[in-house]
Homo-oligomer: A and B are copies of this chain.
Amino acid sequence: MIRVFIVDDHPVVIEGIHALLQNEKDIEWAGHAMNAASCLGFFLNNTADVLLMDISMPGMDGIELCAIMKQKYPGIFILGLSTFNQGLYIKKMMENGASGYILKNSSKEELLKAIHAVDKGDIFFSGEVSQALQEYQKSSMIQLPMLSPREKEILGLIAEGYTNPQIAEKIFLSSFTVDSHRKNLLAKLNVKNTASLIRLAVERKLI
């Protein structure tokens, strides 16, 4: 018996999902909440196996609630729920411990498949969602100017917090040379200071 709880601020969605699951013999309706606070309240005295969670809610959003719930109750598996099929949201939910993600207009079969997979501790995304996720990965990896090996090396050292003179000493170069590479990095990546440089480098996984 899988106890399913749902958090969503749209009554229609709650009712809809409830109706879909009503006749499932191995699924028990644990209840629902319409915001983060009352969800947290429910779990003070109750529990569930699978938590369907809307991503966008008034007050605290699903992303944040997901992190809190997972931290408090690691044994509860969370299934993200959204009308939007946006890679960024999916990724953030996963980073906060969700076990899957489905669209609100999913078919009953997809919903059940996801609930069962998640309840077993598996991680599951339907093809539709997985496509969005992979497209997001791809889009966030658009072409960057090529960096020479030396530049990559120095970029790494900058990111580790070394100053030009320190880098120079470390790899036996003149501090002027290191400075040249540094300026080339700024120019090539089209950023204007160290902060933007490092942010870009980390986000685009250059280091």
Contact = CB atoms under 8 A, between A and B. Distances in A.
Interface stretch (A1-9, A13-21, A36-44, A118-126): A118-126
A122 B121 contact: no
Contacts of A96: 137
Number of copies: 2
The 4 A-B residue pairs with the shortest CB-CB distance, nearest first, are: A121-B127, A161-B196, A123-B125, A202-B202
Interface string A183-197: 000000001111111
Interface of A: 70, 94-97, 99, 117, 120-131, 133-134, 137-138, 158-161, 163, 191-199, 202-203, 205, 207
Contact of A198 (B122, B124, B137, B202): B202
B122 A125 contact: yes
B163 A193 contact: yes
A124 B131 contact: no
Q: Which of A128, A163, A195 has the most CB of B within 10 A?
A: A195
B117 A195 contact: no
A111 to B, nearest CB: 13
Contacts of A131: 121
A120 B130 CA distance: 10
Nearest to A157: B195
